[in-house]
Amino acid sequence: MATPTSPIPPSSPTPPISPISPSSPPAPEPGATPPAPPVPLASLLARRDLGLRLLAGSGDVPLHWVHTSEMADPYPYLLGGELLMTAGVQLTDPTRYVERVVEAGAAALGFGVTPVYDTVPAELVEACARHGLPLVEVPPRTPFTAVARALWRLMAEARLHELRRVTEAQQSLATAAARPAPVPAVLGALASRLTGRAVLFGSDGTESAAAGREVPPEAARALRELAGVLGPRPGGPASASGDGGGWRLAAYALGGRDGLTLGVATERRDPGDHTIAGVAVVLLSLLTAPHRGADVTVRDGALVRLLLGAAPGEAAAALGPGPWTVVHARGGDGTPFAAASLAASLGTALVDAGAGAGATPATALVDAGAGAGATPATALVDAGATPATDSAGAAPGAAPAAVRLLLPASAPLTAQPGWTLGAAAPAHARDLAAADAEAARALRRAEASRTPLARHRPAGFGGLVDPAEAAAYARTLLAPLAEPLTETLRVWLSLHGSWDRTATALDVHRNTVRQRIARCTALLDRDLDDPDVRMELWFALASR
Do residues 215 and 197 lie in contact, with contact meaning Cβ atoms separated by under 8 Å? yes
- Range from 247-261, 290-304, 408-422, 477-491 carrying the lowest mean pLDDT: 290-304
Peptide bond into 312 cis (omega under 30): no
Residue from 132, 41, 143, 47 nearest 87 by CA? 143
CA distance 10 to 464: 34
In sequence order, what are the beta bridge partners of 329? 403, 421
**Average pLDDT for the chain:** 76
Q: Quote the CA–CA distance of 353 and 356 in Å, as a whole number.
A: 9
Percent of the chain topping pLDDT 70: 71
Question: Nearest 5°: CA angle at 213, between 212 and 218?
Answer: 125
| Residue 4 pLDDT grade (very low, low, confident, very high; cuts 50, 70, 90) | very low
Which residues, listed in sequence order, are joined to residue 197 by a DSSP beta bridge? 212, 265
- Residue 340, CA distances (Å) to 255, 345, 351, 386, 477 in order: 8, 9, 8, 19, 45
Sequence-separated (6 or more) residues with CB below 8 Å from residue 428: 316, 321, 322, 323, 324
Q: Are 403 and 339 in contact (CB under 8 A)?
A: yes
How many whole angstroms separate alpha carbon 195 and alpha carbon 248?
Answer: 12
Distance CA 247, CA 265 (A): 6
Fold (topology level) of 39-153: 3.40.1390
pLDDT of residue 100: 95
Half-sphere CA count of 426, side-chain side, radius 13 A = 9
Helix residue ranges per DSSP H, 178-259: 182-194, 217-230
C-alpha closest to that of 190 among 210, 207, 220: 210
In this structure, which long-range contacts are made by residues 147-150, counting pairs with CB atoms below 8 Å and at least 24 apart in sequence?
147/44, 147/50, 147/52, 147/66, 147/83, 147/85, 147/110, 148/5, 148/7, 148/8, 148/65, 148/66, 148/68, 148/85, 149/8, 150/44, 150/47, 150/49, 150/50
pLDDT digits (tens, 9 = 90+) for 11-59: 333 333 333 333 333 333 434 445 678 889 999 999 999 999 999 999 9
Question: Exposed e or buried b for every residue in 193-229, given b needs 16+ CB within 10 A?
Answer: bbebbbbbbebeeeebbbbbeebeeebbebbbbbbbb
Helix 273-288 vs helix 182-194: angle between axes, to the nearest 10 degrees? 170
Strands 239-244 and 247-253, sheet pairing: antiparallel
Strands 108-112 and 82-86, sheet pairing = parallel
Q: Do domains 39-153 and 178-288 have the same CATH topology?
A: no
Taking only the tens place, the pLDDT of each residue in 94-103 is 999 999 999 9
Nearest to 323 by CA among 468, 426, 235, 475: 426
Question: Higher model confidence: residue 376 or residue 542?
Answer: 542
Which DSSP symbol is given to 325? E
Contact indicator for 502, 495 with CB cutoff of 8 Å: yes
pLDDT digits (tens, 9 = 90+) for 412-449: 888 777 888 888 888 877 777 778 788 888 888 888 77
Closest CA to 39 of 152, 134, 142: 152
Instruction: Give the span between the Cα atoms of 107 and 80, in whole angstroms.
Output: 7
- Range with the poorest average pLDDT among 4-13, 452-461, 531-540: 4-13
Q: Which CATH architecture has domain 178-288?
A: 2-Layer Sandwich (3.30)
Helix (H) or strand (E) holding 367: strand 365-367
May I ask the CATH class of domain 467-543?
mainly alpha
pLDDT of residue 10: 37
Asked if 382 and 355 count as a contact pair (C-beta separation under 8 A), the reply is yes
Shortest CA distance to 301 belongs to which of 291, 285, 314? Answer: 314
Query: If 0-12 CB within 10 Å is exposed, 13-18 middle and 19+ buried, where does residue 448 land?
Result: exposed
- Condensed to tens digits (0 to 9), the pLDDT of residues 233-258 reads 555 677 888 888 889 999 888 865 56
pLDDT band at 312 (very low <50, low <70, confident <90, very high): low
Instruction: Look at residue 265 and give its three-state secondary structure.
Output: strand
Q: Render 131-175 in DSSP notation, one character per residue.
A: HT--EEEE-TTS-HHHHHHHHHHHHHHHHHHHHHHHHHHHHHHHH
d(CA 190, CA 209): 13
Is the sign of the CA dihedral 9, 10, 15, 21 positive or negative?
negative
Domain boundaries, the chain: 39-153, 178-288, 294-463, 467-543
399 pLDDT more than 70: no
Q: What is the DSSP letter of 378?
A: P
Specify the range with the lowest mean pLDDT, choosing from 317-326, 331-340, 373-382, 446-455.
373-382
Alpha helices in 371-466 (DSSP H): 432-449
CA distance 119 to 135: 13
Q: How far is residue 86 from each of residues 100, 121, 142, 172, 271, measured CA to CA in Å?
A: 14, 13, 13, 47, 30
Residue type, position 66, single letter: V
At 181, is the secondary structure helix, strand, or coil? coil
**Contact call for residues 492 and 502 (beta carbons, < 8 A):** yes
